[in-house]
Amino acid sequence: MKKLFISAMLSLITWQVSNAQSIVNIIPKPQEITYGEGLFQLDKQTTISFKNCSVKDVDLFIRQLRQASHYPMLEKKQSSNTIEFILDKKLDLPSDEGYQLHVSAKKITVKAKTAHGLFNASQSLRQLLPLAIETNTSTVPESTWSIPAVAIKDYPRYHWRGYMKDVSRTFYDVNTVKKYLDAMALYKMNIFHWHLTDDQGWRIEIKKYPKLTAENATVFHRTEKQPAERSGFYTQEQIKELVQYAKERNITIVPEIDVPGHSWPTILAYPALGVNKNSYPNHIFPFVSSWGYWGNQFTPNTLDPTKETTYQFLDNVFTEIAGLFPGSYIHFGGDEVRHDLWEKEPHVQEFMKQHQIADVKALQSYFVQRVSAIIVQKGKKPIGWNDILADAKNLPKSTAIMSWLGEEAIKEATKDGFKAVATPASHLYFDITQTDRNDGTMTDLAYPQINSLKRVYDFDPSNGLTAMEDQLVLGVQGNMWSAIAQDIKDMNVQNFPRLLAVAEIGWASKSKKDYAEFCRRLDANLPRLDSMRIDYYHTGGYIAGSWKSEDIKEEYSTLTFDVTKKIYDNGRAQAGFFFLEGKNFLEIDAVQLLQDGRIIDEDGHHALADKFRGTNKIKPFYYNFTVRDYNPNAKYEIKARVRGAGGIDSRGNFTFNLSPTLPFNRTEKR
């Protein structure tokens, strides 16, 4: 009997712990968790109190909780049924962003050394609460507003836990940026790297240089037939609004002005700054059109590194940038500079001779030194892509490096004494395919690898570094280039859930990471993304059907696919035909979208579904439609006029995706 009793008690304890663990699904994974018994139950009498701090330190969380629960959450100190926030500067934590959280059936106590720590604790509480906290429209039974008893001691591994959004290749409005700041805050990411300028557009108002935001530098040319919302720029008032919005979420914005390459809009606006006179075409255009104009993706002109007017221009620009962004760092790019353009210019060669500059790499270093000095003079720290390490011996150590050219780039920066942010394309570029190049998702297909969720999660910034080198790693960052994935839904699908893996890399201890266990917590967080109306990648991507040999003929016939489940709102829709295997490609003559048997849109271009998956041309195997009067009770079909090219030995995927007109309004259900 005694053995049976002990066995029963052990089973009960095991059940309690496992049950608690199944409830606590915080991302990123806390450093230390101790599981208790019972639940803290919120009700109309629950209060909040503050010691050495105030409600403004966790105002976002409290407002969100009040709106969702409809409880008053009055500010009142009491011994039980309360959430107490305590600021204790002597708290034993290795990071100012750390916190301690203790939840019992009686009360919740939150302690931190700084307001940032209190904020991070509030986001853990947010994840411990039911999904309804993500909305203020649902009516939730009182019994659901509970938090499991748990004690957490938590702090980040790295200070820099970043995400980069490219708004040059595709512009995204203020509300979209805010949505991303919201998601970053939930998962304790604290750096928003804002890629504001590139060859595809200048996106920030500079009052001294109004031509930078003229139409030809900010709006895609009419011949490109791009939706209007993909063009534009932010006014300085909008910038200030977003900087404040980020600050309220414990996020610092790092602006990037990419020079001296990737400066096409600048040269269009102020041609005298160019190293040559090439300004064709005299407008901006989407990334994939570059090959049609220039024969490659790189501009035929750069800023002139020999002209003092270039540095005066940059000094004036960075003066305004420094005034708008209170963070420590300003990013100046420095990547993918076409040095061959400098080699061809006699005046550049003469300048190098006069200044005893050995080669164009050294000239790039000269440029970087000048720009770094300008940024330092503004009271900021310069940071650039690791291309600027080409002449590392002459690079000022005050310049930080954003290491993107492979894992080894982190080693290359830190071994020479430079601080570095780990953001290798080999693992942390989100425009790269995450599972299958034939699943229809909008990815930059020029990269050789697949950046799967596991590949992202398994990345370790300190891999191969000495202890001293590891001390120079500022942190980690995921990057999203908007060259191919332009619609907001496509961008979301590329970013999520991989961004959550980056959040965990930056926060959790290396020894505590476990991919299988992360996936269990991720499964619990995906409904939270659903509640926030953020689309994310699902197994299979956008695959909605397939064709095989028996489905086609050597003469034209019709392939029909039911896409009713894939259409759930008004918006832009895209069908894709991805040849997989066989002797014969699929020739496509026209594609129609039907609603209850009636044609509602048609794309009549001719294409071949073949093996091409490159970036250097517009992909003709995609067909585009618009859904204007969505009917949830209707049947939707795609009808394609196709034939096997030279035979019927052919197999492939049919893909279909809808990008809603109103982003973050509805998500696709699976």
- pLDDT by residue (tens digit) across 562-614? 999 999 999 999 999 999 999 999 999 999 999 999 999 999 999 999 998 88
3-state secondary structure of 58: helix
Average pLDDT over every residue of 83-91:
97
Task: Answer whether residue 7 shows pLDDT above 80.
Answer: no
d(CA 498, CA 492): 10
Taking a C-beta distance cutoff of 8 angstroms, is the pair 451, 457 a contact? no
Task: Answer whether residue 6 shows pLDDT above 50.
Answer: no
pLDDT of residue 373: 95
pLDDT of residue 366: 95
pLDDT of residue 138: 56
Average pLDDT over every residue of 349-371:
95
Average pLDDT over every residue of 130-158:
84
pLDDT of residue 587: 98
- List CB contacts of 6: < 8 A, sequence separation 6 or more: none
In which band, very low, low, confident or very high, does the pLDDT at 617 lie, cut at 50, 70 and 90? confident
Q: Output the six-digit token pair for 607.
A: 């294409």
pLDDT of residue 390: 82
Average pLDDT over every residue of 119-144:
83
Mean per-residue pLDDT of the chain: 94
Task: Answer whether residue 2 shows pLDDT above 60.
Answer: no
Tell me the pLDDT tens digit for each residue of 98-114: 999 999 999 999 999 99
Q: How far apart are the first and last CA of the chain?
A: 50
Cα angle at 203 between 200 and 204, to 5 degrees? Answer: 150
In which band, very low, low, confident or very high, does the pLDDT at 14 lie, cut at 50, 70 and 90? very low
* Contacts for 517-525: CB closer than 8 Å, 24+ residues apart: 517/29, 518/27, 518/29, 518/457, 520/25, 521/25, 521/26, 521/27, 521/29, 522/27, 522/497, 524/25, 525/25, 525/27, 525/127, 525/497, 525/500
pTM above 0.75, yes or no: yes
- List CB contacts of 597: < 8 A, sequence separation 6 or more: 635, 637
Tell me the pLDDT tens digit for each residue of 202-220: 999 999 999 999 999 999 9
Residue in the block written with tokens 């836990």: 161
Task: Please name every residue paired with 75 in a beta bridge, in sequence order, or none if there are none.
Answer: 48
pLDDT of residue 139: 60
Task: Answer whether residue 16 shows pLDDT above 70.
Answer: no
Backbone angles phi, psi at 152, to 5 degrees: -125, 130
Task: Answer whether residue 21 shows pLDDT above 70.
Answer: no
Task: Answer whether residue 524 shows pLDDT above 80.
Answer: yes
In which band, very low, low, confident or very high, does the pLDDT at 615 lie, cut at 50, 70 and 90? confident
Amino acid at 19: N
Tell me the pLDDT tens digit for each residue of 363-420: 999 999 999 999 999 999 999 999 999 888 888 888 999 999 888 899 999 999 999 9
Average pLDDT over every residue of 472-495:
97
pLDDT of residue 11: 42
- Cβ density class 575-588: b for 16+ within 10 Å, e for less: bbbbbeebebbbbb
| % of residues, the chain, pLDDT over 90 | 90
Q: What is the largest CA-CA distance in the chain?
A: 96
Torsion, Cα 154 159 164 165, to 10 degrees, reads 60
pLDDT of residue 141: 63
Number of residues written out for the chain? 670
Task: Answer whether residue 247 shows pLDDT above 60.
Answer: yes
Residue in the block written with tokens 């301690």: 100
pLDDT of residue 669: 86
pLDDT of residue 293: 95
pLDDT of residue 398: 87
Task: Answer whether residue 343 shows pLDDT above 80.
Answer: yes
Which residue in 390, 391, 399, 400 sits closest to 421, CA to CA?
A: 400
pLDDT of residue 142: 57
Task: Answer whether residue 30 shows pLDDT above 70.
Answer: yes
The answer to whether the peptide bond before residue 28 is cis (omega within 30 degrees of 0) is yes
Task: Answer whether residue 347 shows pLDDT above 50.
Answer: yes
> DSSP H helical segments within 471-532, as ranges?
488-495, 498-507, 515-531
d(CA 279, CA 298): 13
